[in-house]
Amino acid sequence: MADTMTTAPKTLDPAKPFDLDRLLRPRSIAIVGASPDPASIGGGVLANLELFKYAGDLHLVSRSRGEINGRPCVKTIGDLPKGVDVVILIVPQVAIRDSVLACVERDVAGVIVYSSGFAEAGEEGRQQQNELAEICRKAGMAMLGPNCMGYTNYVDGIPLTFEPVDLRGVGERSRVAIVAQSGATAANIRFAMHSREIAVSYVIATGNEAVIAAEDLVGWLIEDKDNAVVAVYVEQIKNPQKFLAVARRARELGKPIVMLHPGSSERGKQAAQSHTGALAGDHALMQAAVRNEAVALVETTDELFDVTAILARYPSPPPGEAGIVTNSGAIRGLCFDFCERVGLPIATLSEEVHAELTTQVPPYVHVDNPFDIGTTGFSNPGIFGTSTASMLKDPNVGIVFLSHAGGSPPMQIKKSDAIIPVAATATKPVILNIVGDDYPLDPTFMKAVRDSGIPFFRSPERAMRAMAVVMNYAAALAATNDRAPEGERIGKLPPSGLVVEYEGKRILTDLGIHIPKGALAKSADEAATIAADVGYPVVMKAQAAELAHKSDAGGVIVNIADEAALRAAHEKMYASIAKHKPGLKLDGVLIEGMARQGLEMVVGAKRDPQWGPVVLVGLGGVWIEALADARLLPADISRERAIAEIHKLKASKLLGAFRGQPARDVEAIADVVVKLGALMRSEPQIVEVDINPLVVYGEGDGALALDALFVVR
């Protein structure tokens, strides 16, 4: 079906922009490889368009047929009129390049390539894909794919996919837009939304993203006023900085982005590469960066479905904690355990709301959160609504969870009659769960719930897991207004490469981070003078930029008690360095006072070429590797947020009074975090910082950086 062209046309213009309006809302479409068989790819696309009664110009290209379903066919792409909005290329992989070139000659605005065998198949396929991308970019021709399933635009009734799709309207309620690299995942998100009677506006499967990537499409979709939320599945974000800019714009517009991004495990990264040819980056860095821009990051497909459903109804959840109402003591008890497990905090009720709830139940009912109304609902079904309204009033509550046993069909309807009017006017999310797995519920009840738009679950645990993500999203939204300012420039930086420790500590001193008293000595006599000033015992450290691991070469000697021991240590150290690193010239030795014991932490920073700078905080010494107990934080994190994140460490108990040790100066740790973050934003040449250990003392006694590693670009 492809025209046999072997050279790119001379009219390519590298300055032409892509027109996503014409790609996604085309008024003219051509199917290259059209077929009358709906079971074939070309026939499937045609069948979908006819089912949706596509009203634009539809052109069919077939070398073997003169007409299909009463529609005339042309033989080649060259026979198409100029300026078709979208051409669907259903041709063998080997013919895609020539077909794309032919589309450029006909001034086509966009192409969709379903064919596989490109970057996901290996290096040769990647090179072929890169060539296609270059042709399209120079021509300003948008390409969706290759290795994709196309899209369905429900708003305009344009299904450009070969999978069978149902004809559905978009209604008047909030709509979900879907972008996924995986065609099957795109379809599954659509199924999940439609099963909940949630309208879907667009379903776009991006495949290998040779030209048009997820961030391009999300940026386009959030500008549609009728889209409430965008659900995203990606295995690689091609342009991280553009994605972060899109996330900021989405936040301005009040449009949540819910994203599932596999690749946290080593095998997960490998799967992403084999599936879409993605060159996976550092997953943890990605998580820190996108969460800082208030992207709702989920870990499972269930969470993707559930969080999207909640935010479609409540796109601007306020920060707060969970208020829970149930009619089961068992559910109440389980909620305590499960909320703690998934990180969903349960609110402490205000005195006013506690008093109000007390009036709604008999005197023998214990009022607390979770609030168990017991059997009160049998005599007073209105309590299902009044208790919800009371919870919503509480300033500590950001989300309300109603988890009930269903009861008889009449009782189910009484529940919905009481709850739905309250939920209809709520600005805080109200989540309804009827326990009982797949046990059928009354059809009238189910219709009322679906028509109301209230997020509905059959599993309390699944609901609470999604609620935890929604509350984290609400907190992230609020935190976007709490950013630390950028730091000042620190003056001349050391030369490119690994920075010797004493120079690194000079940088820390400039930042106001405390280091042990000491100085660089270029001889044994200088070392003795410095040690006398510092006071024994002292530590001696060999100093050279090429000596990254001093201890391995005998370059660290601690607890030097007096001058005689110091001179002996000096001689021993130089001999050891000469043995382990022949020819290495030391800058000298760093003499410092021995620090008193405290809790060893590590604070570091890293500049990722794609995602930018992040700061790390965790348990120090060897424990950070042994326990993997660390948190990656955005470089613009505020002091208050840093304190909260430090308390989320697995070893956070060690920061409080523990086994006779005093509570630690967490504020001092947070100060170091904020200062390093400010440094990374003000000094783009700094690639990496590692303060390990940072010894932390009791509350008010501060922290001391015992070692400092800097890498400068």
CATH of the domain at 54: 3.40.50.720
Assign 353 to helix, strand or coil: helix
Please say whether the beta carbons of 259 and 295 come within 8 A.
Answer: yes
Query: Do 402 and 323 reside in the same domain of the chain?
Result: yes
Query: Do 404 and 342 reside in the same domain of the chain?
Result: yes
**What's residue 37's pLDDT?**
96
**What's residue 628's pLDDT?**
73
Beta strands in 481-598 (DSSP E): 497-499, 518-521, 538-543, 556-560, 588-593
469 lies in a domain? yes
Triad 293, 145, 261: Cα angle to 5°: 35
Query: Do 273 and 357 reside in the same domain of the chain?
Result: no
Query: Do 626 and 668 reside in the same domain of the chain?
Result: yes
495 lies in a domain? no
Counting as low any pLDDT under 70, the low residues of the chain are: 1-16, 264-281, 621-627
698 lies in a domain? yes
Name the CA dihedral angle for 464, 466, 467, 468, rounded to a multiple of 10 degrees: 90
Query: Do 275 and 298 reside in the same domain of the chain?
Result: yes
408 lies in a domain? yes
**What's residue 486's pLDDT?**
79
List the one residue out of 443, 428, 424, 352 whose CA is nearest residue 385. Answer: 424
Range of the domain at 397: 317-480
Query: Do 322 and 387 reside in the same domain of the chain?
Result: yes
132 lies in a domain? yes
pTM metric for this prediction: 0.91
Query: Do 646 and 697 reside in the same domain of the chain?
Result: yes
Query: Do 603 and 562 reside in the same domain of the chain?
Result: no
Assign 335 to helix, strand or coil: helix
503 lies in a domain? no
Query: Do 331 and 308 reside in the same domain of the chain?
Result: no
CB count in 10 Å sphere of residue 368: 14
Which residue is listed with tokens 């696309």? 45
Alpha helices in 231-380 (DSSP H): 240-253, 266-276, 283-292, 301-313, 329-342, 351-358, 376-379
CB count in 10 Å sphere of residue 631: 18
CA distance 592 to 563: 14
| DSSP track, 384-408 | HHHHHHHHHH-TTEEEEEEEEE--S
Q: Given the DSSP bridges, would you call strands 57-61 and 28-32 parallel, antiparallel or unpaired?
A: parallel
Assign 621 to helix, strand or coil: coil
Looking at the 3D structure of the chain, how many domains does it have? Answer: 5
643 lies in a domain? yes
Beta bridge partners of 540: 557, 591
Query: Do 183 and 228 reside in the same domain of the chain?
Result: yes
CA distance 451 to 543: 71
Q: Residue 518: what are its φ and ψ, rounded to 5°?
A: 170, -175
CATH of the domain at 530: 3.30.1490.20
707 lies in a domain? yes
Query: Do 84 and 191 reside in the same domain of the chain?
Result: no
Query: Do 525 and 615 reside in the same domain of the chain?
Result: no
CATH of the domain at 608: 3.30.470.20
CATH of the domain at 358: 3.40.50.261
Q: Which residues of 227-252 are buried (b: 16+ CB within 10 A; e: fewer)?
A: bbbbbbbbbbbbebeebbebbeebbe
